[in-house]
Structure 1
């Protein structure tokens, strides 16, 4: 299947500091592309992969699960590690859960973590219905485009395949159990008005990780896809300042960032 326009993966060969960006469930690299380009323009090596089953049509996701998505970002992380002296991992929504698992599994090989509206749990009755409903109902209404900014548009699916949603549910449970293994410096930015992932998910993550260098920032003007919303520039600047603090060689470029 051809990839949806704008949903293509993005890579930039830059300097010795690398960043892996993980997009969300039913979304695509398009939701993080401006962030990736911002970092690339500042000389960083950037990888923004397209997760398997994403960026084409929702039916393709029915054949994939969390193991496929995690394997893709794990592979990209290892590739970055081969050519970079320090690697950071950033994630939006389910991409935040992928990020946290990479941090838990790779330890010191991941220098720091940035999360935007990270997801930790499938909430409500849906969670209980999924294991059975997925055998009878192929999909439900989509999650994309929770953006406050007028004119901003997210490239993703307008349907959620239930087999894949059930896999996400299982993945969130797995990652929740691994959160105490996360020890890296962590920057978490989340929107109080998020119609996809409740603030409780961010609170749960912050309460369970073992990181001691932690900063939480509220994105007051944005909804779920904050990387395409009013607070996007703040996310970019804060994350770059975060890298600059932990990787002093970045600061030598002379770029000044808010932080």
Structure 2
């Protein structure tokens, strides 16, 4: 598959709307297919929305292997700058590693109006165990951890071990930046998650210095909650959050 042959459903998504912008980031080995329902819900309300395809994602596992966590940061940075040119207020949203990237942006840019994360990744001990116990180039897929019957995530069927090393570096770097986050934050955490331990969300909630912060437990979804049974609740609560803090002085 050629480098520029992107999987159908994995393309970056852009909606031009009003002066409130929302940046949405998918997760590790995933694609924008996992974020499309919330992206479309935000756009329907008139917001300007961008959901970038993270470099190395949505093509092949071999292509992902060539990218680094710095490339993934660059992908969301470019999307953020696109919103800056069009919007007076910006919110960032992310699933899993997309949540890690959203937190990274919130720590860097003080003018971000709010951050919303779904099962964000900061510490995954199983990833360290993989590095300690395999010499393989690829391991099994980690996508599609979804409780709802008949729903599948568009994600890689193999996970590059080199990319796991980069994910660990990103999580570690972002962990050290959490105390720089002061903007309002909304955290969604699935009570049963087979990829990211729910304790990640608890730790983020306790560490950020946001005056306004809320942790919402999802009782009927696994890791990819944006495609799971709690999807509509995530959309509803996040839209309420955007309305509240886009109107804040």
Q: Please report the TM-score for the alignment, with normalisation by the length of structure 1.
A: 0.92
Mapped partners of 1:140, 1:146: distance in 2: 16
Aligned-pair CA distance for 1:131: 7.3
Mapped partners of 1:17, 1:27: distance in 2: 26
Mapped partners of 1:192, 1:132: distance in 2: 28
Mapped partners of 2:174, 2:133: distance in 1: 22
What number of residue pairs does the alignment pair up? 245
Mapped partners of 2:104, 2:214: distance in 1: 19
3-state SS, counterpart of residue 190 of structure 1: strand
**Other-structure match for 2:83:** 80
**Other-structure match for 2:193:** 194
1:44 and 2:47 correspond? yes
Cα deviation, 1:45-96, whole Å, max 9, x if unaligned, reads 0000100100011111110110000011011101101110100000000001
**Other-structure match for 1:254:** none
Mapped partners of 1:183, 1:175: distance in 2: 14
**Other-structure match for 1:253:** none
Cα deviation, 1:146-199, whole Å, max 9, x if unaligned, reads 001111110010111011110111111110000000111000011001111111
Mapped partners of 2:34, 2:152: distance in 1: 9
1:242 and 2:241 correspond? yes
Q: Is the 8 A contact 1:19 1:89 kept in 2?
A: yes
Mapped partners of 2:218, 2:24: distance in 1: 19
Mapped partners of 1:52, 1:200: distance in 2: 28
Q: Identify unmatched segments of 5+ residues in structure 1.
A: 250-259
Q: Is the 8 A contact 2:205 2:214 kept in 1?
A: no
Mapped partners of 1:130, 1:79: distance in 2: 36
Q: Is the 8 A contact 1:131 1:166 kept in 2?
A: no
**Other-structure match for 1:177:** 176
3-state SS, counterpart of residue 28 of structure 2: coil
**Other-structure match for 2:95:** 92
Q: Identify unmatched segments of 5+ residues in structure 2.
A: none
1:103-252 equivalences in 2 (<5 Å): 103-108=106-111, 110-124=112-126, 126-127=127-128, 130=131, 133=134, 136-248=135-247
- RMSD value, Cα: 1.4
Aligned-pair CA distance for 1:122: 2.6
1:8 and 2:11 correspond? yes
Mapped partners of 2:182, 2:136: distance in 1: 40
Aligned-pair CA distance for 1:33: 0.5
1:17 and 2:20 correspond? yes
Q: Which runs of 4+ in 1 moved over 3 A?
A: none
Aligned-pair CA distance for 1:129: 5.2
